[in-house]
Amino acid sequence: MKIVFFSAKAYDREFFESCNEGYGFELEFWETHLGPHIADAVKEGTDAVCVFVNDKLNAEVIEVLAQKGVKIIALRCAGFNNVDLDAAKQYGIRVCRVPAYSPEAVAEHAVAMLLTLNRKTHKAYNRVREQNFSLSGLMGFNLFGKTVGVIGTGKIGAAFCKIMLGFGCKVLAYDPFDNKSLKSAGVKYMPFHEVIKDADVISLHCPLTSENHYLIGAGSLSAMKKGVTLINTSRGGLIHTREVIEALKTGQVAALGIDVYEQEEKLFFKDLSGSIIGDDDIQRLISFPNVLVTGHQAFFTQEALTEIAESTLGTVKAILEGGDIGEGAVLV
């Protein structure tokens, strides 16, 4: 049974090869993204392709994979907005993902971004290295007592809510489905517009769908409290980049932390330090002193990578050979 990995990095190889000792699949690691440019290079005899957040599996790619005899598309991530599920169904290809892997990894990164932006530890680090011990410009605010709005209270959002409750924040949430245990822990569910109107900090933890594309744009930004801190560790397409740039210029958004970015597939997971970047929006974002961009690293902990490898190979085996499949792992 052969699995070809796309967008594979050294750490993917390390964690999957170690986990594969218990499975015995034939693994092949390709550095390139999967997309229309390369789909035809997949060889017959490939049972599964294993892909990540920025691989593009549209109908054209899926048709080619089906012709090659690929039976499974295994996403080694939770989000699946980059796969045309209808096309996969049409061509009889199963699609699976990792529904849950250390949600705390992502939630903790969202908190790290919030604390960095608020307490300006990134600036303090550089300042002190230059023997500048001045505090000017480093003032933050107490999170204790502040109102935090959480959009999406699935596994990651729930972990984030619990951390914020631990900080002594008032936590408001919007999700089409209430989580009873969060409610009894003190989280108050409200309609989306009520949450964003009252929150000092807003963190996005919902998946990107066709309905919530640009959930955060000029309209919702102007409905927020002036000086809001906005954190997005979910998907770049939830935020209209140019409109959030305008909101940063007016101070409507006081600080922005993003681990995901609309056009990230051209940038993230690559060392572009010697390149001229043509994307003016990311350059503008990086130029703000109150914007923190990380390159889709929220998931990147040892625990999460171990769980991703185990869950991915376990689900592929269960699909191919029959067996128990974890809840939410199979999409098609």
Q: Residue 2 class from Cβ within 10 Å (0-12 exposed, 13-18 middle, 19+ buried)?
A: middle
Q: Among 106, 164, 216, 224, which residue sits at the site for ligand NAD (rule: CB under 6 A)?
A: 106
97 binds ligand NAD per the rule CB under 6 A: no
Q: Tell me if 268 sits within 8 A of 293, measured CB to CB.
A: no
* Options 94, 109, 240, 296, the catalytic residue: 296
103 binds ligand NAD per the rule CB under 6 A: yes
294 binds ligand NAD per the rule CB under 6 A: no
Q: How many residues of this chain interact with ligand NAD, rule: CB under 6 A? A: 28
User: What sign has the CA pseudo-torsion 322, 326, 329, 332?
Assistant: positive
How near is the Cβ of 173 to ligand NAD at its closest, in Å? Answer: 9
For residue 175, the tally of other CB atoms under 10 A from its CB is: 20
Active site residue 264: yes
Give 233 or 311: the residue with its C-beta nearer to ligand NAD.
Answer: 233
3-class secondary structure, 292? strand
205 binds ligand NAD per the rule CB under 6 A: yes
Q: Tell me if 150 sits within 8 A of 194, measured CB to CB.
A: no
How near is the Cβ of 101 to ligand NAD at its closest, in Å? Answer: 8
Which two structure tokens, joined as six digits, stand for 198? 């009252």
DSSP labels for 143-201? -TT-EEEEE--SHHHHHHHHHHHHTT-EEEEE-SS--HHHHHHT-EE--HHHHHHH-SE
User: What distance in Å separates the CA atoms of residue 149 and residue 329, rounded to the nearest whole number?
Assistant: 28
Give 152 or 314: the residue with its C-beta nearer to ligand NAD.
Answer: 152
Contacting range for ligand NAD; rule: CB under 6 A; set: 34-42, 60-68, 98-106, 116-124: 98-106
Active site residue 129: no
257 binds ligand NAD per the rule CB under 6 A: no
Contacting range for ligand NAD; rule: CB under 6 A; set: 85-93, 115-123, 136-144, 147-155: 147-155
Q: Among 176, 191, 278, 322, which residue sits at the site for ligand NAD (rule: CB under 6 A)?
A: 176
How near is the Cβ of 206 to ligand NAD at its closest, in Å? Answer: 3
The residue whose Cβ lies closest to ligand NAD is 154
How near is the Cβ of 194 to ligand NAD at its closest, in Å? Answer: 13
Contacting range for ligand NAD; rule: CB under 6 A; set: 119-127, 204-212, 305-313, 315-323: 204-212
Give 233 or 312: the residue with its C-beta nearer to ligand NAD.
Answer: 233
Active site residue 37: no
Q: Estimate to the nearest angstrom the gap between the alpha carbon of 329 and the chain centroid.
A: 17
237 binds ligand NAD per the rule CB under 6 A: no
Q: Among 221, 247, 299, 329, which residue sits at the site for ligand NAD (rule: CB under 6 A)?
A: 299
User: What distance in Å separates the CA atoms of residue 184 and residue 127, rounded to the nearest whole number?
Assistant: 43
What torsion, rounded to 10 degrees, do the Cα atoms 187, 190, 192, 196 define? -60
Per-residue burial over 202-241, b = 16 or more CB atoms within 10 Å of its CB, e = otherwise: bbbbbebeeebebbbbeebbeebbeebbbbbbbbbbbbbb
Give the Cα-Cα-Cα angle 59, 62, 64 (nearest 5 degrees): 115
Q: Which residues are catalytic?
A: 235, 264, 296
Contacting residues toward ligand NAD, per CB under 6 A: 78-79, 100, 103, 106, 151-157, 174-177, 205-207, 212, 233-235, 259-260, 296, 298-299
